[in-house]
């Protein structure tokens, strides 16, 4: 079995666990296939295609697309461990969670892995618009407020929002280059989503972003 096939079968196995409604067994981490170093269209062509979409197919994303997307979003692009998006004061504040039918997963860039956070489908809770419940992926950008020392709560939200915005634009451009649909979202019940995700009190949701194949 190739690594890609193995990952694919792990993903579908986790999906089976979720759809069978079995009592909340926490699946193990998923090692994503390596992000593809080449491909896509030119940056200029992607900029021409970048747009927000609100109509999604329910088709799940492939492990390779998930891998490439998360790497583009905030993956490691240098031996120093730094990322594809700039971030405030070189302090790593942002976590990306992937809410899918098979649960909520934390993206772990160092190992390029998805770590199970919750085994249930919370997609409907990631936003106030109907499409979020059935689109295959909702990214949730969560900030660690406790890592932002010496700044006011207002500035914490400001800097974390800028971090999230850069990540969001990476996602927009990756999606444009691959013919995927996406929309960055503030229409979120922030307190409700933080509760659903069992976030510690110092962590907060900045924005969410839906990704999927366009509805045909």
| 29, 31, 46, 54: residue in contact with ligand FMN (rule CB under 6 A) | 54
Q: Does 55 bind ligand FMN (CB under 6 A)?
A: no
Residue nearest to ligand FMN (CB): 187
CA distance linking residue 173 with residue 182, whole number of Å: 10
Strand 137-144, strand 203-212: pairing: antiparallel
Q: Does 183 bind ligand FMN (CB under 6 A)?
A: yes
* 152-157: long-range pairs with CB below 8 Å, 24+: 157/204, 157/206
CA distance linking residue 132 with residue 135, whole number of Å: 5
CB nearer to ligand FMN: pick between 32 and 132: 132
CB nearer to ligand FMN: pick between 14 and 140: 140
CA distance linking residue 122 with residue 106, whole number of Å: 14
Note whether 171 and 185 are within 8 A (CB).
Answer: no
CB nearer to ligand FMN: pick between 97 and 184: 184
Q: How far is the CB of 197 from ligand FMN (least distance, A)?
A: 18
CB nearer to ligand FMN: pick between 54 and 157: 54
User: Which stretch, 3-11, 37-45, 56-64, 179-187, contacts ligand FMN (CB under 6 A)?
Assistant: 179-187
CB nearer to ligand FMN: pick between 137 and 183: 183
Give the distance between the most distant pair of CA atoms in the chain.
Answer: 52
Q: Does 195 bind ligand FMN (CB under 6 A)?
A: no
Q: Does 186 bind ligand FMN (CB under 6 A)?
A: yes
Burial environment of residue 113 by CB neighbours within 10 A (0 to 12, 13 to 18, 19 or more): middle
In the numeric block, the tokens 């089976």 are attached to 16
Query: In the range 85-124, which residues lie near ligand FMN by CB under 6 A?
Result: none
Burial environment of residue 37 by CB neighbours within 10 A (0 to 12, 13 to 18, 19 or more): exposed
Q: Does 51 bind ligand FMN (CB under 6 A)?
A: yes
Q: Does 192 bind ligand FMN (CB under 6 A)?
A: no
Q: Does 4 bind ligand FMN (CB under 6 A)?
A: no
| 123, 185, 193, 199: residue in contact with ligand FMN (rule CB under 6 A) | 185
Query: Distance of CA 9 to CAs 1, 27, 98, 213, Å?
Result: 10, 13, 18, 21
Binding site for ligand FMN (CB under 6 A): 51-52, 54, 129, 183-187
């Amino acid at each position: 079995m190739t690594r890609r096939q193995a990952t694919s079968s792990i993903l579908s196995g986790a999906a089976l666990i979720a759809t069978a409604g079995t009592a909340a067994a926490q699946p193990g981490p998923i090692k994503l296939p390596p992000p593809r170093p080449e491909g896509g269209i030119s940056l200029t062509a992607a900029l021409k295609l970048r747009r927000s979409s609100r109509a999604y197919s329910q088709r799940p994303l492939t492990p390779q697309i998930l891998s490439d997307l998360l790497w583009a979003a905030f993956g490691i692009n240098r031996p120093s461990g730094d990322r594809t998006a700039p971030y405030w004061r070189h302090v790593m504040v942002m976590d990306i969670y992937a809410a899918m039918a098979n649960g909520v997963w934390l993206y772990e860039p160092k190992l390029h892995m998805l770590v199970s956070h919750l085994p249930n489908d919370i997609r409907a809770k990631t936003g106030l618009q109907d499409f979020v419940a059935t689109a295959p992926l909702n990214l949730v950008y969560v900030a660690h407020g406790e890592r932002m020392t010496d700044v006011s709560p207002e500035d914490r939200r400001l800097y974390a929002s800028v971090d999230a915005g850069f990540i969001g634009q990476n996602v927009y451009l990756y999606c444009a280059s691959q013919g995927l649909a996406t929309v960055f979202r503030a229409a979120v019940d922030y307190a409700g989503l933080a509760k659903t995700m069992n976030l510690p009190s110092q962590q907060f949701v900045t924005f969410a972003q839906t990704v999927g194949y366009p509805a045909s």
